Amino acid sequence: MQPPFDPQRLQADLRMPWLSVAAAVLVSIALVLVCQHFGDSIQQPLPDTPREWLRTALYATAIVTFPFTNLLRHIQLRLNQTMPCPSDAYPATAKRRYWVTVTVSMALIQSPVIYGFVMFYFGDPVNTLTIFTLMSALGFYLYRPKPQEYQALMTALARQHHDE
């Protein structure tokens, strides 16, 4: 068996989390392309006042999504390190737990793109969609899989296995 901190193994273990990131990015790109390709044909404009209220609420929600995602990710990472796991399967357990953490982060941080799509559908211009998309892109970068987080998880679970 390879040592748990071999750089090649770390890269291999992070493939699934990176696939979660790729899926989130591809969905975001698809939404933007749908809006650009179909444009006016998919828009169902709302009157200005309700649309402005909705836009404001979605901007506030998108902004709150960032610290909420950060908090939830922090909690998940700590739980991943402290929850007991089978002593003989801690590498597989660490891999699965980290993948779930990254997938949840990507799902949450992808919501601003969906908000942008909703606002485009209700008659906002492409610049609103672009702003929401850039917010999500920033989140994809901030909450990407990080080898040091995964290595810390592996260390904690290995220590837990060693202490038994």
Task: State the 10-residue block means of pLDDT for the chain, 164 residues long.
Answer: 64 93 96 91 91 97 97 96 81 91 97 96 94 97 95 87 62
Q: 43, 120 in Cβ contact below 8 A?
A: yes
Looking at residue 110, its pLDDT comes to 96
- Give domain status of residue 32, yes or no: yes
Does residue 1 lie within any of the structural domains?
Answer: no
Residue 159 within any structural domain of the chain: yes
Q: What is the pLDDT of residue 84?
A: 86
CA proximity to 12, closest of 108, 127, 94, 88: 94
Domain that holds residue 136: 7-38+47-163
Question: How many domains are contained in the chain?
Answer: 1
Identify the CA nearest to 121 among candidates 49, 51, 63.
51
The reply to whether the predicted model has a pTM over 0.85 is yes
Q: What is the pLDDT of residue 70?
A: 97
In a domain, 152, yes or no: yes
Cα 24 to its chain centre, rounded Å, is 7
**pLDDT the model gives residue 89:** 78
- What does the angle CA 107 – CA 13 – CA 31 come to, to the nearest 5 degrees? 25
Domain for residue 2, yes or no? no
Q: Is residue 18 part of a domain?
A: yes
**Torsions phi, psi of 86, nearest 5?**
-60, 135
